[in-house]
Each structure stands twice: as structure tokens, then as C-alpha cells.
Structure 1
Amino acid sequence: MKIAVAQMCSGIDPHENGRQLASLIAEAAAGGAAIIFTPEMTGLLDRDRSRAANVIRNEADDVVLLAARSQAKKARIWVQLGSLAMKVSDRPGEKWVNRSYLISPDGEISARYDKIHLFDVDISPDESLRESSAYAGGKNAVVAAIPGATLGLSICYDVRFSGLYEALTNAGADLLSIPAAFTVPTGTAHWEILLRARAIEAGAFVVAAAQSGRHEDGRSTYGHSMVVDPWGEVLLDMSETTGLDFCELDFRKVQEVRSRVPAVANRKKFELPAKLT
């Protein structure tokens, strides 16, 4: 399977981000990719939530989702839209969701996944992120079929919680998508290590499309979109440059690795010890 990976520096204007996305989808299809993977928050990256509230829409009205569906159908390509900030209710004070989409070559939504683990952290004395103050966390792990593979969906901070990927591979996933907008300090320290660990534990391919660079809202993201094979070998590292790159995935590698190291097959359920009194 030939895949395309988009590394973006999304800004605060969904219309402009949607135009860039449509161009990347067309380029991926022209390059022979069966599916394109895009980063977390493809449609809007804005830490000013008052300003963001003016452009976040529901599915029917979201310009980036509409652009992705239209271009997927026009180009006849699968699109794994890393995530969008999405409104799910018009009730005042209702939280948004950070939602990932799988879009078929017919332009239809094949799967949705709402980010389960929300990033609440103090990055430095002067910078903190509280994703849960604006977003509601998801409840369900999601796998979806694409030609030749079973895709497990996740988003960014999820990568630190290995239990999610155990659930995805127990459900048959042999390809894991981990779109992200990692900060530079955490990316430098942990990004590659975490991605390779998830691939090795699962005996699965990992595709991690990332945001990269200095964004309009003032934040900086790490980049280094990666593809990792089931043995933990890095097949693609896009460094910090935005744009598109391609990678070939041979899914015979999944069975080869899982036969050599049958960690998925050897998983056991166990009980915790009784609490000490």
C-alpha cells in the first residue's frame, strides 16, 4: 500500500487550511497514494478559544470537513483526516470535541473517533495547556476497515497510553494512526521513542502525521511526521518541512513480526493484587 503523509502548519483561518488540505489530497492522489494522513487540528490551530469559537462549526457546516470530503471523492482517495475541532451541540457552554475522521473515496465518512486522553499540562511557568477546559473527551476506541488493512484511530496525547493501542490491536488493527500537534520540548524528548514503542508493542505500522513550525496563534510544534514499521524501524521522518511525502507499506511485515515476537497473541488478562491494609 502506498500512503501519503501531510505535514502542515495550520493557522487560524479554516478556509485557508481547507484550501491547503484540498491541494494536498489532490497531490497525494496524483502521486499514486491509496490514502493520505493529515495532522491533528488540520482545520484550525488557535489557542485563543474566544476567537476559535467564532469559526468552529458542526459537521454539516465545517468548511474543512466539506473540502476533504469533496476532494476525496474527486480524487478517489481515502483520507484519514487527523482531527478537527468540532461543535456537537448548540447549547451555550457545551464543550467541543477533538474528532478524527476516515473519509472514503466516495466522499463518505467511514469512521469517527473523539480523542479520549486530553492534554492538561503546565509546559513552563509561563505556558499551560488545558484541553479539557474546552473539549469533551471521547469514550470509545475505534477501528475501521480500509482496503488491505484494519486502521486503529487515535490522536496525539493518546500515544502515551499504551492500553488504547492494546485495545485497537485486540480488535484487529494492523495500522495505527497517531496524528499530532506535539510541542517542541515534548517532541524532542519523547516523540520518536513513543511512536516506535507503540509500533513494537502492537506489531503494527504506525503513521503519525504532525503539525510543524511556528503557527499564527504563536505556538510552535515539533513536526517530524513519521512512519514506523512493526519491527520499530523508522521508514519516514519528515523533519520540520511542511508538505507531502510518500511511503510504501507491506502488510506481510505485520504477520512476519508477530510470528517472530508473538506479543499480541501472548497477551494475558490478570488481576491486581489485593489492596494492602
Structure 2
Amino acid sequence: MRVALAQVVTGRDISGNLDIVEKYARKAKEGGAELVVFPEATMRAFGNSLLDIAEPLDGPWATRVRRIARAADIVIVAGMFTPGDGRKVRNTLLVTGPGVEASYDKIHLFDAFGFAESDTVDAGTRASTFELGGIRFGLATCYDIRFPALFTANADLGAEANIVCASWGSGPGKVDQWRLLARARAVDTTTYVLACGQADPATEGIETKGSAPTGVGHSAVVSPLGEVLEELDAGTGLMFADLDAAVVKEARAKLPVLANRHKF
């Protein structure tokens, strides 16, 4: 099946961000994709208030994404914010489209590199997968990529591909870490990894302030044996890749790390 990764820059305006989703969903469908992945914080970019726009999965923003998916006849994965406990939100991935409805709340919160996501966000507790086109996909968000156990848990649930939606923080060595981790998680689990991040705002002439992670680009699709099949640079763009469950089966026959592992 063909998938697309939409590397975009979202901002404060949640309506304008929906326009971005609609534009790229249509382009992805025109390119033959059955699935289009958008980054973490598609609903509103980090560095802006989140509590005032958080809404449930049946709220108006998610409902509009469903309508876009239905109109384009494509499954959309996009980062949004849902209500948490008290004055916190949850960092949620919405998956919606013909025959598919799923969600995932980010488990590992980004309390690192001078940013404290846990100040405003409640952590999720469960892995989540969905099936499309004969392939099962696991879900992960940004900082999750540093924790192999989640990806193994997704594989145990049958995942043959892992989707990682991110708004990766910039800084020395951070792009290299992002690329390394995407490849490592693919090899750890012999799954495809679809790593879709926010583009670098500077490529659009957007200045950012503070420590909020706003994206570095370099979205990539990695094979189950760690080969980078497709990769974007720092700027906005739409990338396509073809996935085949038979490739995962072959990789697992050659490198049976899931079967060979010991559980401690």
C-alpha cells in the first residue's frame, strides 16, 4: 500500500491548520496514498496555549478532520490535544478515515532539553494499533521514539509498521539523533517506521522563541532492516512510500529478533 508523510509547519490558528490538513490530504490522495500522516501538534503548534483548544475526539476539530478524510477517501493520522485531568491536556494522535477510527495518547512526555511537557500534559498509559490495507500500524509520538519498549509492545500487538508523529526540538546533534532513533526502532522490531515531523519553521521564515519543540524536518520512511527508503530535508513537503507486509515477513525470517528475545 502507498502511504504519504506530510511535513508541515502548523501555527496557533487551529482553523488555518485544518486548511493545511485538507490541502495535503488531497495531494496525498492524488499521489495514490491510502494513508497520510501529519506531525504531532497539527492542531496547534507548541509554544502556544493548549488548554483553551483541547477537545474530545468527537469535538469540532476532530470532526472536521473526519470530514476531510471522508471527502478525500483517505485515512489521516494527525496530532491534536484532548482534555486531561484538571488543567492539563493529553497529547493525542487521531486516526480517522474510511473504515478506520483509532487514537493514541502520548506515553513518554518530553521533560528534557529544558522543556517540561508534563507541566501541561497528562501521559497516556496504553499502546494503540490499527489495521489498513492488510498492514497493522502501531502509534507513537515524538519523545516515545527514545523508548524501544513501546515499539516492541506495538509489534507484540501485530504491528508491521510504526508511525511516529513528532515536533522534534532543535539543537546540536538533534537531527542526527532523530534519524538514528528512527532506524534503530525499525531494526529493534523489524517494522517499517514512518517518522513524520514538523518542518523547521525557519524554512517558512517563521521565528520561534523559547524552548518549545517546533520541528526540524527530516521526516523519513525506514525499512524493517533499517534502510532509509525516503527522507525529506528541513523544509515543508509531501513524501510517498510503498509498504509491503511481505517485506516485513522476509525481514523477520532473516532477523528474528522478536522471536529470539528474552523477557526479563
TM-score in terms of structure 2 length: 0.91
The Cα shift of 1:217 comes to 5.0
2:103 is equivalent to residue 112 of structure 1: yes
Alignment match, 2:69:
72
2:20 corresponds in structure 1 to 20
Work out the CA distance in 1 between the residues paired with 2:58 and 2:83.
10
Contact 2:57 2:82 in 1 (8 A): yes
Separation in 1, partners of 2:30, 2:13:
26
Partner of 1:165: 151
Matches of 1:170 and 1:194, distance apart in 2: 20
* C-alpha deviation, 1:104, in angstroms: 2.2
Which amino acid in 1 is paired with 2:129? V
TM-fit CA distance, 1:138: 0.3
For the residue of structure 2 that corresponds to 1:116, the secondary structure is coil
Paired with 2:70 and 2:103, the residues of 1 have a C-alpha distance of 18
In 1, are the aligned partners of 2:186 and 2:193 still within 8 Å (CA)?
yes
Q: How far does residue 9 in structure 1 lie from its aligned partner after superposition?
A: 0.7
Deviation at 1:62, TM superposition (A): 3.9
2:55 pairs, out of 57, 75, 94, with 57
Which residue pairs with 1:195 in the alignment?
182
Change (3 A) 1:120 1:112: same
> What is aligned with 2:92?
99
* Preserved CA contact (<8 Å) 2:108 2:144: yes
Partner of 2:130: 144
Q: 1:149 & 1:216 partners in 2: Cα distance?
A: 39
Q: What is the deviation of 1:94? A: 3.1
Bigger mean CA offset, 13-22 vs 39-48: 39-48
SS across alignment from 1:110: strand
Structure 1: tracts of 5 or more residues without a match: 271-277
> Following TM superposition, by how much is the alpha carbon of 1:146 offset from its aligned partner in structure 2, in angstroms?
1.4
CA contact (8 A) 2:17 2:44 kept: yes
SS in 2 for 1:264: helix
> Partner residue of 2:4?
4
Deviations 1:3-28 (A, max 9, x none): 11100111011000001111111111
Q: Who is 1:156 aligned against?
A: 142
Asked if the contact 1:48/1:217 (under 8 Å) is kept, the reply is no
Partner of 2:81: 85
Q: Is the 8 A contact 2:166 2:215 kept in 1?
A: no
1:182 aligns with 2:173: no
Instruction: Give the letter for the 1:262 counterpart.
Output: P
- The one-letter amino acid paired with 2:98 is P
Instruction: Tell me the CA shift for residue 102 of structure 1.
Output: 1.4
Question: Which position in structure 1 is the counterpart of 2:197?
Answer: 210
Asked if structure 1 preserves the Cα contact closer than 8 Å seen for 2:51 and 2:83, the reply is: no
C-alpha RMSD over aligned residues: 1.7
From the superposition, tell whether residues 187 and 201 of structure 1 become closer, same or farther in structure 2 (CA, over 3 Å): same
Q: Deviations for 1:208-250, whole angstroms, at most 9, x for unmatched residues?
A: 1110122565354211010000010001111112121211122
Would you say the 8 A contact 2:57–2:94 is kept in 1? Answer: no
Aligned with 2:154: secondary structure? helix
Structure 2 counterpart of 1:273: none
- Determine which structure has more spread, i.e. the larger CA radius of gyration: 1
Structure 2, unaligned stretches of length 5 or more?
none
Q: What SS does the corresponding residue of 1:209 show, helix, strand or coil?
A: strand
Tell me if the contact between 1:98 and 1:114 (Cα under 8 Å) persists in the aligned partners: yes
SS in 2 for 1:178: strand
The answer on 1:226 being equivalent to 2:224 is no
What is the distance in 2 between the residues matched to 1:5 and 1:194? 18
Q: For residues 165 and 7 of structure 1, what CA distance do their matches in structure 2 show?
A: 22
2:249 alignment counterpart: 255
* 1:274 paired residue number: none
Shift of 1:73: 0.6
Percent identity over the alignment is 32
Could you say if the C-alpha distance between residues 35 and 60 of structure 1 is closer, same or farther in structure 2, counting changes exceeding 3 Å?
same
CA distance in 2, matches of 1:187, 1:98: 21
Supply the AA of the counterpart residue of 2:151. Y
SS in 1 for 2:197: coil
